[in-house]
Structure 1
């Protein structure tokens, strides 16, 4: 049992060291993954991809959406929920010929903003 405690402590020290010494690239990877995971759980977008409402390359378009969101967040630290909502509305309309009016765009935009804010706090 004592050995297990030491292993746990090593993991805690390792996590602490990583937090203090993590590279910006690693932080960017966390943000990229977070955006991808959030979009992969978004039912409206996944329905559009599954039913190929954006054509045969719908999956690629959803991946491009994640990339564009990451790029948007990388360019500015000051982005509003409304900016993201408008971006998502426009992207779904242009890429998937889809309008989602179930409130999920607003929810996803808020979650993306929260993810971005957490990323900024972790980067400083």
Structure 2
């Protein structure tokens, strides 16, 4: 059986960064880390998951299949954070990683560049929220005076910007000791293509 192609040294470094960006933008994992589902070392556990994924891609001697990666993500979330995901986000994240790996093999880092840009915008959100709150206060003052229409317009514009910046979907993080919610439909992101599987259906653990 033919071994998988290997990334160059430069591609490995960029691909590792890409894995970190994908995981940092995974709503379910972010929720687990921020709320310390895995204890005080939740952030370290998330970083370890990223390292395990990188090793799987770079050290495997067998062909890489997306369903194996999905199982790794499922097991990693369950063991590290005592939770299960049933929102379709595992499949989405696995698909992104598989495609990103294929692109890096070809020296194409455009997807990682897009992830960097998204990450920079997310970092700016807390500041934007603060500005919006201040403008809303100014708007309340202007309503009392009824003489500052421009401030009201500016607050309205800022509110519109916040609606655009708000996350489009929130992953469903479920503790293992709670009933599993019905899965929500999977939302495909533009720009990602479908990756084939080794098996006809994903092997779920009982």
Q: Are the aligned partners of 2:74 and 2:90 in contact in 1 as well (CA < 8 Å)?
A: yes
List aligned pairs for 1:67-78, cutoff 5 A.
Answer: 67-76=51-60, 78=63
Q: TM-score, normalised by structure 1?
A: 0.77
Question: 2:190 corresponds to which residue?
Answer: none
Computed over aligned residues only, the root mean square deviation of the Cα atoms, in angstroms, reads: 1.7
Counterpart among 33, 46, 61 of residue 49 in structure 1: 33
* Structure 2: tracts of 5 or more residues without a match: 1-6, 109-206
Counterpart mapping for 1:85-104 below 5 A: 85-104=70-89
**Is the aligned partner of 1:30 residue 2:14?**
yes
Query: Counterparts of 2:41 and 2:22 in 1: how far apart (Å)?
Result: 20
Choose 1 or 2 for highest CA Rg.
2
Task: Give 4+ residue runs of structure 1 displaced > 2 Å after superposition.
Answer: none
Number of aligned positions between the proteins: 101
Confirm or deny: 8 A CA contact 2:70 2:91 kept in the other structure: yes
Partner residue of 2:93? 108
Deviation of residue 122 (structure 1)? 2.2
Is 1:81 equivalent to 2:66 in the alignment?
Answer: yes
* Gaps in structure 1 of 5+ consecutive residues: 1-22
Contact 2:42 2:81 (C-alpha < 8 Å) held by counterparts: yes
Question: Displacement, 1:27?
Answer: 1.2
In structure 2, the residue matched to 1:17 is none
Query: Deviation of residue 87 (structure 1)?
Result: 0.2
The TM-score, its normalising length taken from structure 2, stands at 0.47
Residue 25 of structure 1 and its aligned partner are, at CA, apart by: 2.3
Match of 1:63 among 47, 54, 62: 47
